[in-house]
Protein backbone atom coordinates (compact mmCIF):
# COMPACT_ATOMS: atom_id res chain seq x y z
CA UNK A 1 0.00 0.00 0.00
CA UNK A 2 1.40 3.41 -0.90
CA UNK A 3 2.19 6.07 1.70
CA UNK A 4 -0.63 8.31 0.51
CA UNK A 5 -3.12 5.42 0.69
CA UNK A 6 -1.93 4.55 4.21
CA UNK A 7 -2.22 8.19 5.23
CA UNK A 8 -5.75 8.37 3.81
CA UNK A 9 -6.84 5.18 5.61
CA UNK A 10 -5.26 6.48 8.82
CA UNK A 11 -6.94 9.87 8.50
CA UNK A 12 -10.36 8.32 7.94
CA UNK A 13 -10.10 5.81 10.81
CA UNK A 14 -8.60 8.33 13.23
CA UNK A 15 -11.18 10.94 12.27
CA UNK A 16 -14.01 8.54 13.08
CA UNK A 17 -12.39 7.54 16.37
CA UNK A 18 -11.60 11.13 17.32
CA UNK A 19 -15.29 11.91 16.94
CA UNK A 20 -16.13 8.99 19.24
CA UNK A 21 -13.82 10.21 22.02
CA UNK A 22 -14.03 13.92 21.36
CA UNK A 23 -13.86 16.27 24.35
CA UNK A 24 -17.58 16.97 23.93
CA UNK A 25 -18.19 13.29 24.72
CA UNK A 26 -16.39 13.79 28.05
CA UNK A 27 -16.51 17.52 28.71
CA UNK A 28 -13.64 18.86 30.75
CA UNK A 29 -14.60 20.81 33.81
CA UNK A 30 -11.86 22.93 35.31
CA UNK A 31 -8.55 21.33 34.31
CA UNK A 32 -6.88 22.83 37.37
CA UNK A 33 -9.23 21.13 39.85
CA UNK A 34 -7.81 17.81 41.05
CA UNK A 35 -10.31 15.04 40.34
CA UNK A 36 -9.75 11.32 40.11
CA UNK A 37 -9.44 9.64 36.76
CA UNK A 38 -12.89 8.72 35.48
CA UNK A 39 -13.37 5.59 33.38
CA UNK A 40 -16.37 4.79 31.24
CA UNK A 41 -17.12 1.87 28.95
CA UNK A 42 -19.47 1.71 26.00
CA UNK A 43 -20.22 -0.52 23.03
CA UNK A 44 -18.22 0.05 19.85
CA UNK A 45 -18.84 -1.51 16.45
CA UNK A 46 -15.67 -0.06 14.86
CA UNK A 47 -14.22 -3.58 14.42
CA UNK A 48 -17.47 -5.53 14.33
CA UNK A 49 -20.44 -5.98 16.64
CA UNK A 50 -19.54 -6.78 20.22
CA UNK A 51 -16.50 -4.50 20.55
CA UNK A 52 -16.08 -1.93 23.27
CA UNK A 53 -14.62 1.54 23.84
CA UNK A 54 -13.01 2.36 27.18
CA UNK A 55 -12.55 6.07 27.93
CA UNK A 56 -10.43 7.51 30.72
CA UNK A 57 -10.58 11.15 31.66
CA UNK A 58 -7.96 12.70 33.92
CA UNK A 59 -9.18 16.25 34.31
CA UNK A 60 -6.44 17.21 36.75
CA UNK A 61 -3.75 16.24 34.24
CA UNK A 62 -5.75 17.35 31.20
CA UNK A 63 -5.76 13.93 29.52
CA UNK A 64 -8.52 12.15 27.61
CA UNK A 65 -7.72 8.60 26.49
CA UNK A 66 -9.82 6.10 24.58
CA UNK A 67 -9.09 2.49 23.70
CA UNK A 68 -11.13 0.41 21.25
CA UNK A 69 -11.28 -3.38 21.54
CA UNK A 70 -12.64 -5.77 18.91
CA UNK A 71 -15.25 -8.44 19.79
CA UNK A 72 -12.45 -10.90 20.74
CA UNK A 73 -11.10 -8.40 23.31
CA UNK A 74 -7.97 -7.52 21.29
CA UNK A 75 -6.86 -3.89 21.55
CA UNK A 76 -7.22 -2.33 18.09
CA UNK A 77 -6.88 1.42 18.61
CA UNK A 78 -5.63 3.68 21.38
CA UNK A 79 -5.81 7.46 21.30
CA UNK A 80 -4.70 10.00 23.91
CA UNK A 81 -5.34 13.74 23.90
CA UNK A 82 -3.34 16.02 26.20
CA UNK A 83 -4.68 19.46 27.12
CA UNK A 84 -3.31 22.58 28.76
CA UNK A 85 -4.71 25.98 29.72
CA UNK A 86 -4.24 29.27 27.87
CA UNK A 87 -5.86 32.24 29.65
CA UNK A 88 -8.15 29.86 31.51
CA UNK A 89 -9.34 28.02 28.36
CA UNK A 90 -8.32 24.43 27.65
CA UNK A 91 -6.60 23.74 24.35
CA UNK A 92 -5.23 20.58 22.76
CA UNK A 93 -1.45 20.22 23.15
CA UNK A 94 -0.80 16.76 21.78
CA UNK A 95 -2.55 13.74 20.31
CA UNK A 96 -1.05 10.24 20.28
CA UNK A 97 -2.81 7.48 18.34
CA UNK A 98 -1.90 3.83 17.83
CA UNK A 99 -3.51 1.25 15.54
CA UNK A 100 -3.08 -2.48 16.16
CA UNK A 101 -3.71 -5.40 13.79
CA UNK A 102 -6.16 -8.22 14.52
CA UNK A 103 -3.50 -10.03 16.60
CA UNK A 104 -2.82 -6.94 18.73
CA UNK A 105 0.54 -6.04 17.13
CA UNK A 106 1.34 -2.35 16.69
CA UNK A 107 0.68 -1.39 13.07
CA UNK A 108 0.67 2.41 12.94
CA UNK A 109 1.39 5.30 15.31
CA UNK A 110 0.58 8.97 14.86
CA UNK A 111 1.75 11.87 17.03
CA UNK A 112 0.25 15.31 16.42
CA UNK A 113 1.33 18.50 18.24
CA UNK A 114 -0.73 21.71 18.40
CA UNK A 115 -0.07 25.40 19.12
CA UNK A 116 -2.10 27.65 21.49
CA UNK A 117 -4.84 28.19 18.90
CA UNK A 118 -5.37 24.47 18.34
CA UNK A 119 -3.66 24.47 14.96
CA UNK A 120 -1.44 21.43 14.22
CA UNK A 121 2.27 22.33 14.11
CA UNK A 122 3.74 18.87 13.49
CA UNK A 123 2.71 15.33 12.66
CA UNK A 124 4.76 12.15 12.95
CA UNK A 125 3.33 8.98 11.33
CA UNK A 126 5.20 5.69 11.72
CA UNK A 127 4.23 2.35 10.14
CA UNK A 128 5.42 -0.90 11.71
CA UNK A 129 6.02 -4.31 10.10
CA UNK A 130 4.86 -7.74 11.23
CA UNK A 131 7.68 -8.09 13.76
CA UNK A 132 7.42 -4.60 15.26
CA UNK A 133 10.15 -3.07 13.10
CA UNK A 134 9.64 0.46 11.77
CA UNK A 135 9.06 0.21 8.02
CA UNK A 136 8.61 3.92 7.27
CA UNK A 137 8.15 7.23 9.02
CA UNK A 138 6.83 10.54 7.75
CA UNK A 139 7.29 13.76 9.72
CA UNK A 140 5.36 16.85 8.63
CA UNK A 141 6.06 20.32 9.99
CA UNK A 142 3.22 22.78 9.34
CA UNK A 143 4.21 26.40 8.72
CA UNK A 144 2.25 29.56 7.86
CA UNK A 145 3.65 29.37 4.32
CA UNK A 146 2.90 25.66 3.80
CA UNK A 147 4.42 22.47 5.13
CA UNK A 148 7.60 20.42 4.99
CA UNK A 149 7.54 16.61 4.80
CA UNK A 150 10.49 14.41 5.81
CA UNK A 151 10.57 10.66 5.22
The pLDDT tens digits of the residues spanning 1-10 come to 444 443 433 3
Cβ neighbourhood burial of 73 (10 Å; 0-12, 13-18, 19+): exposed
User: Residues near 25 by Cβ (< 8 Å), separated by ≥ 6?
Assistant: 55
CA atoms of 27 and 3, how far apart (whole Å): 35
DSSP string, 21-74: T-TTTS----TTS----EEEEEEE-BTBTTEEEEEEEETTTTEEEEEEE-TTS-
The pLDDT tens digits of the residues spanning 87-121 come to 777 788 999 999 999 889 999 999 999 988 888 99
| 87 DSSP assignment | T
Chain centre distance of CA 117:
19
In the structure, what pLDDT confidence band is assigned to residue 21 with cuts at 50, 70 and 90? very low
For the segment 35-41, the average pLDDT, to the nearest whole number, is 78
Is the model's pLDDT at 73 over the cut of 80? yes
Which CATH architecture does the domain made up of 3-150 adopt? Alpha-Beta Complex (3.90)
Amino acid sequence: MSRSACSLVLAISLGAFAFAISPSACPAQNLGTPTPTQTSQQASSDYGPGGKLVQQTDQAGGVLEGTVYDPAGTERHDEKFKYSLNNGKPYKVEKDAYNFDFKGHLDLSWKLKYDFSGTPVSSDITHYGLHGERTWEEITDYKPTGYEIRD
